Amino acid sequence: MTPSKYSKILGTGSYIPSRTLTNQELEKMVDTSNEWIIERTGIKERRLAKLDGSETCSEMGAFAAKKAMEAANIKPDEIDLILFATVSPDYKLPSTAAVLQQKLGIKNECPCLDIVAACSGFLYGLVIADSMIKTGIYKNILIIGAELLQPFVDWTDRTTCILFADGAGAAVLGRADENDSSKILSSTLSCDGTGDKLLFVPSGGSASPLNKEKLERKEDKLVMEGKQIFKYATRTMMRNSQMALEAAHLSVSDLQWFIPHQANLRIIEYLAKKLEINMEKIIVTVEKYGNNSAATIPIALDEAVRAGKIKRGDKCAMTAFGAGVTSGAVVLQY
């Protein structure tokens, strides 16, 4: 067991559900308009999974994971830890990571762990994996961010149904050395639990089990304090990005690419202005995919890599915020 000074992303993958829900379709469902949605969120359409069992959270995660392992040239049994970030697991138990292990045909009994950090989940997983790699105990760690949020969305609430979507992204993290052009340079994570009710599902957990009355009140659906979330999002992502860049001894001008959580284009634009980052450096997918929570960053990363935008050695920063209120940032050389 030899500790590793650095870790690096070996490969990425993603899965986008086939069904598209446009703003024009939403106009027929709730009191909204295409113009209203675009003005406030920048979202033109979003992707939704089939609810017939063919696109469960674990299935979408498996599709993304297979692509990531293929890109990393890693066989299933070479994975020695699975981290699955989601707030929409297949079951209350077992973990979706355990379900995924079986679907990937991994026979080595590697440990499996779910991460519940909402939209920050993939970055939480990346930071945890980075730390685990550095211990020398683990060599190849699979990180997935996947969501099937559809069942938890109130499709009569125009403030939330216009935002959320489904999808999955994944990455394989491995060892790197001092001279490697690819490596994670720095990271930071945080959580402010005083904001735990700003974005949450009121009932369905052990604190408030569901019953007929709660279902009638739609307490199994997401509720959100939009204005407060906007403030938290911009403040925490800006702070974490600055902290991670400082720890990496870099400035914003050193970055080739910036990947923020794809919650809302207006949040991204505001953050870009505050950090003084040119929008041309920012990877944006929210317009076509909506907000698929823990999946937004790995999907954006994978698409940018496969499109030839992000290249090996490019300096990138990623930042997110999510329910909790969780937040974080990672700076790396891809």
By DSSP bridging, strand 326-333 and strand 315-322 are antiparallel
Annotated catalytic residue 23:
no
Annotated catalytic residue 249:
no
Is cis: bond before 286, omega within 30 of 0?
A: no
Number of other CB atoms surrounding residue 203 within 10 Å = 18
For the chain, report the end-to-end CA distance as a whole number of angstroms: 25
Annotated catalytic residue 261:
yes
Active-site pick, 261, 264, 292, 316? 261
- 45/296 Cα distance (integer angstroms): 14
Active-site pick, 112, 119, 161, 316? 119
Number of other CB atoms surrounding residue 25 within 10 Å = 11
Active-site pick, 23, 140, 264, 291? 291
Q: SS3 for 21?
A: strand
Q: Is the dihedral of CA 312, 43, 127, 88 positive or negative?
A: negative
- 255/332 Cα distance (integer angstroms): 10
| Residue numbers annotated as active site | 119, 261, 291
